[in-house]
C-alpha cells in the first residue's frame, strides 16, 4: 500500500512501517486559504518586530510541550526510528533562536547620517503571502525552517506539507496557533502534487519557499519564469559524493560513509549517493563498509532494540529503488551488497552497495534511498573530477587526506556544503544551507532564510523638505 492517496476530495496517509491508516482529511481549498492569508497580512506585518519574535518563541514552548506526541507522530508518519524523530523535534525548537539571530544579522535596519544631506536608511519589508511546500523527509524541521523566518519578517504563510506527512504538518500548525498566531496567518492545506502546483502558481502568492526534488523544483521554476515579481527559493536534492583518501583510520572512515549513505534510510537531501575511493584503500574500505552495513538493524520506529534505519516512504519508492539497482547491475555494476526487500507488504529495504566503476555511463540522478554507488579512482585529480561529475551541487565530503588535499577539495568541488572528516549529512542550521546546479537557485536557507523572506528598501530621508537648483536656470 502506498503511504498517501488523494481521491474524491480527501487525502489519506498511512504508516510506512505497517501500512495502517494514520491520517485523513479534506483536500485544502487553495483559493480560500490564500484569500484569508491576504486579508490577515497587513495586520500581521504591522505588528512590532519584537512582538513577532516573542510569538515564535512561544511557538517553541508549545513544541517543547508536545515533544513526545510530535516525535511519536514523526516516527509513525515517516517510519524513522523514534530516537531520530526525537532529534527532529529538538531541531524545530532550536530553529527559532537561529531564525531570530539570522534575521537580525541578514536583514538588520541601518541608518547612515549625512549632515545636511539628511540620512540614508536601509530597512526590509516582508513580501506578503508566502507558499511553503515541503517534503516528507524532515516533516517538522524543514517546514519550521521556512515558516519561522517568514513569520518573523512579517509574512503570512500558506503551508502545504507532503501528502505523505499531513499529520505532522497539522500538529506543527496547531502549535503556531496555540502560541497566539492567528489561524489566518499560518494555515495548512492538505493535498497532493496538484494542490502544490496550484498553490505555487496562485496569483495571490508573493513568494514560494520550496524544498523537494529537483524534478518538481524545476517545474515550479519554469512555471514562474515569466513572473519575476514572485520570489522563488528552491532547496532541491543532490547526487552527493563522499571521497575517501589517504587515511590509516579505515574503521572510522567506514562509519562516516555508512552514516552519510544510510542514516534515515538514505532519505535525506544530504545523503551520500556516491563513494569515491582511492584504489590503494578500496579493498579494505569497501569490505569494512560492507561489514558495518551488514550489522545495521532495519526495523519499525518503536522496535527494541532500536533500529538504525526504518522503511523508505512507500512501496512505490521501494520498487523504484529496486529497479534502479537492477539497472545498475545490468549495465556494468558489480554488487557488493544486494538491495533486498525485507518485507513483502511494507517498504523495508536492506542497505545496498554497488561498484559502478566500470559502467560506461553512470546515471546522474538522485536515488533517494539506501543505495550507495562506489567509484574507484587512482589519483586525487580523478577523485575531484568524479565528485564534480554531476549536475547537482548540494553536499560533498572528504574523509582523510592532508590539509592541503582538503584545501584543493574545498576550492575545486562545486557544492553548497563541503565537509572534511564529517558525514555529508553534518550541517549546522546556524550556517546557510543550499546548493548550486540542480540543487538550488542560489537562495540558501537555514541561517540565510531571512534573505528570502524580506526585501531591502533603501531610503534617503530628511525631516523637512530642503532643496535648490544650483545650475542651468535663467536669471529672474
Residues marked as catalytic? 235, 269
> What does the block give as the cell for 156?
503570512
Q: Tell me if 239 sits within 8 A of 260, measured CB to CB.
A: no
Q: Which helix (H) or strand (E) holds 60?
A: helix 49-65
Strands 119-126 and 454-461: antiparallel
Q: Which long-range contacts (CB under 8 A, 24 or more apart) does 398-404 make?
A: 398/242, 398/243, 398/245, 399/242, 399/243, 399/244, 399/245, 399/247, 399/253, 399/256, 399/257, 400/244, 400/245, 400/246, 400/247, 400/249, 400/253, 400/281, 401/243, 401/245, 401/246, 401/247, 402/246
In the chain, what is the straight-line distance between the N-terminal and C-terminal CA atoms, in Å? 88
Contacts of residue 397, defined as CB under 8 A and 6 or more positions apart, other chains included, come to 240, 241, 242, 243, 256, 260, 272, 418, 419, 420, 422, 423, 424, 426
> Which phi and psi angles does 440 have, rounded to 5°?
170, 180
> Which phi and psi angles does 377 have, rounded to 5°?
-130, 165
DSSP string, 89-155: HHHHHHHHHHHHHHHHHHS--EEEE-GGG-EEEEEEEE-SEEEEE--SSSTTHHHHHHHHHHHHHT-
Amino acid at each position: 500500500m502506498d503511504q498517501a492517496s488523494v481521491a474524491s476530495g480527501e487525502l489519506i496517509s498511512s504508516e510506512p512501517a505497517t501500512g495502517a491508516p494514520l491520517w485523513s482529511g479534506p483536500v485544502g481549498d487553495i483559493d480560500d486559504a490564500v484569500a484569508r492569508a491576504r486579508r490577515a497580512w497587513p495586520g500581521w506585518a504591522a505588528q512590532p518586530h519584537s512582538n513577532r519574535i516573542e510569538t515564535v518563541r512561544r511557538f517553541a514552548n508549545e513544541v517543547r510541550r508536545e515533544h513526545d506526541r510530535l516525535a511519536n507522530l514523526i516516527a509513525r508518519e515517516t517510519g524513522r526510528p523514534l530516537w531520530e524523530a526525537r532529534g527532529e523535534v529538538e531541531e524545530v525548537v532550536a530553529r527559532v533562536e537561529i531564525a531570530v539571530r539570522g534575521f537580525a544579522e541578514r536583514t538588520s535596519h541601518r541608518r547612515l547620517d549625512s549632515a545636511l544631506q539628511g540620512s540614508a536608511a536601509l530597512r526590509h519589508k516582508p513580501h506578503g503571502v508566502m507558499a511553503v511546500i515541503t517534503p516528507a523527509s524532515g516533516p517538522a524541521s524543514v517546514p519550521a525552517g521556512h515558516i519561522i523566518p517568514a513569520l518573523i519578517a512579517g509574512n503570512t504563510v500558506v503551508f502545504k506539507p507532503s501528502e505523505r506527512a499531513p499529520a505532522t504538518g497539522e500538529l506543527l500548525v496547531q502549535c503556531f496557533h496555540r502560541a497566539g498566531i492567528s489561524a489566518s496567518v499560518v494555515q495548512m492545506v492538505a493535498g497532493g502534487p496538484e494542490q502544490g502546483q496550484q498553490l505555487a502558481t496562485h496569483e495571490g502568492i508573493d513568494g514560494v519557499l520550496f524544498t523537494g526534488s529537483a524534478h518538481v523544483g524545476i517545474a515550479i521554476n519554469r512555471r514562474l519564469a515569466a513572473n519575476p515579481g514572485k520570489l522563488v527559493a528552491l532547496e532541491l536534492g543532490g547526487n552527493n559524493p563522499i571521497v575517501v583518501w589517504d587515511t590509516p583510520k579505515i574503521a572510522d572512515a567506514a562509519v562516516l560513509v555508512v552514516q552519510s549513505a544510510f542514516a534515515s534510510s538514505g532519505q535525506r537531501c544530504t545523503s551520500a549517493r556516491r563513494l569515491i575511493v582511492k584504489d590503494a584503500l578500496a579493498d579494505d574500505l569497501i569490505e569494512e563498509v560492507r561489514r558495518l552495513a551488514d550489522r545495521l538493524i532495519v526495523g519499525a520506529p518503536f522496535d527494541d532494540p532500536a533500529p538504525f534505519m526504518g522503511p523508505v516512504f512507500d512501496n512505490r519508492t521501494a520498487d523504484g529503488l529496486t529497479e534502479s539497482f537492477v539497472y545498475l547491475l545490468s549495465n556494468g555494476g558489480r554488487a557488493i551488497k544486494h538491495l533486498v526487500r525485507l518485507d513483502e507488504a511494507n517498504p523495508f529495504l536492506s542497505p545496498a552497495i554497488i561498484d559502478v566503476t566500470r559502467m560506461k555511463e553512470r546515471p546522474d540522478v538522485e536515488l533517494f534511498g539506501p543505495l550507495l554507488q562506489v567509484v574507484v579512482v587512482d589519483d586525487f585529480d580523478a577523485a575531484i573530477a568524479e565528485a564534480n561529475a554531476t549536475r547537482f551541487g548540494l553536499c560533498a565530503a572528504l574523509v582523510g587526506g592532508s590539509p592541503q588535499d582538503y584545501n584543493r577539495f574545498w576550492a575545486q568541488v562545486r557544492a553548497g556544503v563541503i565537509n572534511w572528516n564529517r558525514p555529508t549529512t553534518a550541517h549546522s542550521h546556524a550556517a546557510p544551507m543550499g546548493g548550486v546546479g540542480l540543487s538550488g537557485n542560489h537562495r540558501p536557507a537555514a541561517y540565510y532564510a531571512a534573505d528570502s523572506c524580506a526585501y531591502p528598501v533603501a531610503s534617503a530621508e530628511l525631516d523637512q523638505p530642503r532643496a535648490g537648483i544650483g545650475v542651468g536656470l535663467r536669471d529672474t
